[in-house]
Homo-oligomer: A and B are copies of this chain.
Amino acid sequence: MAVSITDHAPGTADAGAELPATTLREMFRCMVLARALDERMWLLNRAGKAPFVISCQGHEAAQVGAAFALTRGKDVTLPYYRGLATVLVMGMTPEEVMLALFARATDPNSGGRQMPAHYSSRRLKIITQSSPVGTQIPHAAGVGLAEKIKGGDAVVWTSFGEGTTSQGDFHEGINLAAVHRLPVIFQCENNEYAISVPQHQQMAVRSVADRGPAYGIPGISVDGTDVLAVYEVTRRAVERARRGDGPTLIEARVVRLTAHSSDDNDRTYRSPRELQSTRRSDPIARFAAYLHEHDLLSEAEERELRAQVAAEVDAATEAAERAPLPEPESLLNHVYAQS
């Protein structure tokens, strides 16, 4: 049965109450950092310095809430191209993100081979992502299968958009994980669009969480602009997975605050009024308000945090810009691994 966590499960306040203030502030910092990096990337794109940007804006709470429920260095993530905030929480540095944007030789994601936002780091257990959507879902099931075969207790977490749920790989991957009760969390970040295609042309259900029961697993729909609500449902899914009870499908309802990517112009298919109203669901503003309200962060502290983040983004950008481009000859490297 699909469950809408915001309907009758602990909301923001309850989850927030359990987390220490430092953690809450750290969550906020990650969200702000993701946003600041993302905004900087657009500026660099407009300035002709980065040919392609694809955004995390509007998805930060869904990603930070989820990633904080995982164990860094142990759990495995397979985040899709909007997963900037995810990878920051899992340990990627702003400089590493910028190295990918500028396609530098030292970019740990791909050495400048892939478009930006195709995250990867073996050290951080972030599994390399491709562009064809949904292929990571069977991979996630397979990582979980291996974990079960090895008798380990790492949890696997993967993310994708609601449009991607139309792919066969979504179905095949979740089904396998369900059959073998694999320790995998499938997070669908539902921003209601696949480029220009609205959700109702993608599926005839209101919530992606309605698909959990089709696989015999829980399907949870959560307000993905509420970082603590996402944290809470993910925490439970992690517990369930580590216990050996199998996968969970989580739909985080988010907003896409930008065009699909720097190659898109969403004014051709979204009305000004819709674009306007989307802005009102900004997850960062929402969490900031919560923190202020609960005296967990003062206005001054927020200003300082934002200043620090801006400096970090400046430094990352500068360092990455200085880094060398790949040598043409390196084109031929790594076609095959050597034994």
> Taking beta carbons and an 8 Å cutoff, which residues of A are in contact with B?
166-172, 175, 178-179, 181, 200-205, 210-211, 213-217, 246
Contacts and interface: CB of A to CB of B under 8 A. Distances in A.
Contacts of A175: 166, 203-204
B168 A172 contact: yes
Contact of A205 (B167, B200, B216): B216
Main secondary structure of the interface of A (DSSP, over half): helix
Given A167-B168, A210-B214, A213-B214, 4 more contacts: A179-B201, A203-B216, A210-B216, A213-B213
Contacts of A170: 171
A203 B180 CA distance: 9
A162 to B, nearest CB: 12
Nearest to A211: B214
| Pairs A-B, 8 closest by C-beta atoms | A168-B168, A204-B216, A214-B214, A171-B171, A178-B204, A211-B214, A205-B216, A179-B204
A69 to B, nearest CB: 23
Nearest to A2: B213
A242 B167 CA distance: 28
A91 B246 CA distance: 48
Contacts of A204: 175, 178-179, 181, 215-217, 246
Contacts of A211: 214
Protomer copies: 2
Contact of A215 (B168, B169, B201, B205): B205
A242 to B, nearest CB: 19
Nearest to A181: B204
A109 B283 CA distance: 59
A39 to B, nearest CB: 35
Contact of A178 (B171, B181, B203, B213): B203
A312 B231 CA distance: 68
Contacts of A217: 204
16 contacts: A166-B172, A166-B175, A167-B168, A167-B172, A168-B172, A170-B171, A171-B171, A175-B203, A179-B203, A181-B204, A204-B216, A204-B217, A205-B215, A210-B214, A211-B214, A214-B214
A307 to B, nearest CB: 47
Contact of A210 (B171, B200, B213, B246): B213
Nearest to A206: B216
A169 B200 CA distance: 20
A319 to B, nearest CB: 43
A178 B175 CA distance: 20
A129 B190 CA distance: 36
A171 B166 CA distance: 8
Contacts of A246: 204
A211 B211 CA distance: 8
A246 B172 CA distance: 24
A202 B178 CA distance: 10
A167 B176 CA distance: 11
A209 to B, nearest CB: 10
A159 to B, nearest CB: 19
Contacts of A167: 168, 172
